[in-house]
């Protein structure tokens, strides 16, 4: 047996190398590759979507926008051109889920603070309360990096429509004045093509971990 091994050792070595290579390639080809869905209005809970777009099943993107940030600067889609970003909806006096959401958004900010391709965008659902000075005070308290994260206010109607027609993430009041909004705990992941790629519970650490992983995946995505 020993003489057989010595005689054919190079053949056996070659076979072992071939087998290892074959198994590695097979494992790679058979392992499901990670994919992130592209969300359209028809894919989402209708309660979160404006009725005028609920039928749309493809090619949905974030509409153009124009809001004012915590520094009184005009923020538009141009500021987010070619960026991956996380959007959410909040108000500064919210005593329940907002503080948790914003603390988790700070974690995302700090994780990608040196990655210029990643940004954050928080919209107030109470613009009559959240003026520029109020947003600035809130931003300073939370440690917001101005170059990375915009807290924005604007016309209530415009915020309402982008929340429900673009980000597909905000409920409406069953009663009350027109454009009343009930924000959810959703963080919305948007890719460089302005497509919605994921929804995450902004109050849960495991969801934040998943979101961070998905942002890293999008940074490597080729299309």
Contact 62, 166 (CB under 8 A): yes
Q: Are strands 196-201 and 84-90 parallel, antiparallel or unpaired?
A: unpaired
What pLDDT is attached to residue 30? 47
Q: Tell me: do 52 and 20 sit in the same domain.
A: no
Q: Tell me: do 74 and 27 sit in the same domain.
A: no
List the chain pLDDT tens, one digit each, 223 residues: 556 555 655 555 655 555 555 445 544 444 456 689 999 999 999 999 999 999 999 999 999 999 999 999 999 999 999 999 999 999 999 999 999 999 999 999 999 999 999 999 999 999 999 999 999 999 999 999 999 999 999 999 999 999 999 999 999 876 545 678 888 999 999 999 999 999 999 999 999 999 999 999 999 986 5
What pLDDT is attached to residue 173? 74
What pLDDT is attached to residue 27? 46
Give kind and range of the element (H or E) at residue 75. strand 74-76
Residue 222: beta bridge partners? none
Q: Tell me: do 23 and 100 sit in the same domain.
A: no
As a whole number of angstroms, the distance between CA 149 and CA 115 comes to 12
What pLDDT is attached to residue 180? 83
Q: Tell me: do 152 and 58 sit in the same domain.
A: yes
Instruction: Show Cβ contacts of residue 55 under 8 Å, excluding neighbours closer than 6 positions.
Output: 41, 42
The binding site for Cu cation comprises 94, 98, 183
Structural domain for 6, as ranges = 1-31
For the stretch 48-93, pLDDT in tens is 999 999 999 999 999 999 999 999 999 999 999 999 999 999 999 9
The domain tally of the chain equals 2
Q: Tell me: do 212 and 103 sit in the same domain.
A: yes
Q: Tell me: do 48 and 26 sit in the same domain.
A: no
Q: Tell me: do 116 and 21 sit in the same domain.
A: no
The binding site comprises 94, 98, 183
Contact 109, 148 (CB under 8 A): yes
| Sign for the pseudo-dihedral over CA of 138, 119, 49, 154 | positive
Q: Tell me: do 197 and 139 sit in the same domain.
A: yes
Q: Tell me: do 126 and 26 sit in the same domain.
A: no
> Where residue 58 sits, what CATH number does that domain have?
3.40.30.10
């Amino acid at each position: 047996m020993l003489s057989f091994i010595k005689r054919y050792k190079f053949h056996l070595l070659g076979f072992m190398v071939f087998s290892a290579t074959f198994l590695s390639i097979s494992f790679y080809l058979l392992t499901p590759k990670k994919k992130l869905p592209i969300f359209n209005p028809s894919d989402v809970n209708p309660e979160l979507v404006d009725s005028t777009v609920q039928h749309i099943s493809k090619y949905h993107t974030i509409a153009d926008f124009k809001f004012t940030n915590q520094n009184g600067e005009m923020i538009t889609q141009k500021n987010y051109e070619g960026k991956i970003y996380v959007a959410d909806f909040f108000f500064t006096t919210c005593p329940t889920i907002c503080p948790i959401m914003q603390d988790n958004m700070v974690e995302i900010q700090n994780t990608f603070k040196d990655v210029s391709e990643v940004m954050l965008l928080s919209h107030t659902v109470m613009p009559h309360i959240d003026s520029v000075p109020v947003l600035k005070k809130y931003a300073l308290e939370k440690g917001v990096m101005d170059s990375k994260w915009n807290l924005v206010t604007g016309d209530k109607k415009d915020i309402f429509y982008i929340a429900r027609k673009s980000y597909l993430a905000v409920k409406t009041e069953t009663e009350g004045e027109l454009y009343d909004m009930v924000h959810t705990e959703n963080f919305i992941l948007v890719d460089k093509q302005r497509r919605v790629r994921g929804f995450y519970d902004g109050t849960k650490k495991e969801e934040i971990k998943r979101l961070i992983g998905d942002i890293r995946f999008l940074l490597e995505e080729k299309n």
